[in-house]
């Protein structure tokens, strides 16, 4: 495989595990609690990705903390019911790990919820480094989470790819100097990601193998 790339950094939600329905349900439950009947499914799709506090602060600065707490309670209670793994993820990660690639998670979720998702889908065995929201001062799209993961892995940006389903994944990688890959199964759609000029668009996770064999 491509000797130039040694390190693969993955977003979690919407990239490796399908949390789309859980996220939509948690946003709708929270927003309908505070603003009955004001929000519909299509209104909350754009909220998928940025840190929760940022999203709720933009809606109601005074109650943002309270809304984050409500969201997280719903999210945890319904987590195992609604979260599934995308097709081909386990097999691809297993192959990458066995081929000697260094793998990390870089997420805007808090670490406890990241671990819950990884353990549920049995993907936790593949990751030696996890960078979550509670490990950084600044979340993606700031380069800090990517830089922190690379430092812990002992990797340089030039030998790394940041892979995600959202614009802030692409920008965080670009800001840190890595290559970037967007996933075509993003809830926001392929066109949304293409606007940010990732180096690659993956139609399926196993496309990574083809890219690395390059």
Residues assigned a catalytic role: 11
Alpha helices in 35-87 (DSSP H): 41-44, 52-59, 64-82
Contacts of 189 (CB under 8 A, 6+ apart): none
Residue corresponding to tokens 């999210």: 75
How many C-beta atoms surround the C-beta of residue 44 within 10 A?
Answer: 18
Residue 188 contacts residue 204 (beta carbons within 8 Å): no
- Return the CA Rg of the chain: 17
Burial of residue 98 (number of CB atoms within 10 Å: 0-12, 13-18, 19+): exposed
Dihedral sign, Cα of residue 155, residue 171, residue 26, residue 68? positive
């Amino acid at each position: 495989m491509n000797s130039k790339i040694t390190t693969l950094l993955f977003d979690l939600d919407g990239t490796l595990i399908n949390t789309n329905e859980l996220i939509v349900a948690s946003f709708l439950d929270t927003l309908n609690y505070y603003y009955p009947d004001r929000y519909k499914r299509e209104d909350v799709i754009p909220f998928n990705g940025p840190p929760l506090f940022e999203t709720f602060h933009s809606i109601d600065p005074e109650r943002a903390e309270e809304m984050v707490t409500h969201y997280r309670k719903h999210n945890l209670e319904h987590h195992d019911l609604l979260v599934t793994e995308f097709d081909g993820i386990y097999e691809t990660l297993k192959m990458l790990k066995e081929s000697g690639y260094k793998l990390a998670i870089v997420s805007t979720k808090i670490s406890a919820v990241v671990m819950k998702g990884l353990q549920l889908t049995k993907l936790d065995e593949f990751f030696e480094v996890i960078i979550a929201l509670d490990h950084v001062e600044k979340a993606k799209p700031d380069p800090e989470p990517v830089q922190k993961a690379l430092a812990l892995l002992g990797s340089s940006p030039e030998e790394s790819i940041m892979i995600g389903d959202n614009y802030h994944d692409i920008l965080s990688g670009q800001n840190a100097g890595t290559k970037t890959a967007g996933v075509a199964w993003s809830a926001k759609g392929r066109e949304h990601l293409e606007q940010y000029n990732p180096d690659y668009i993956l139609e399926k996770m196993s496309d990574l193998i083809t890219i690395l064999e390059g």
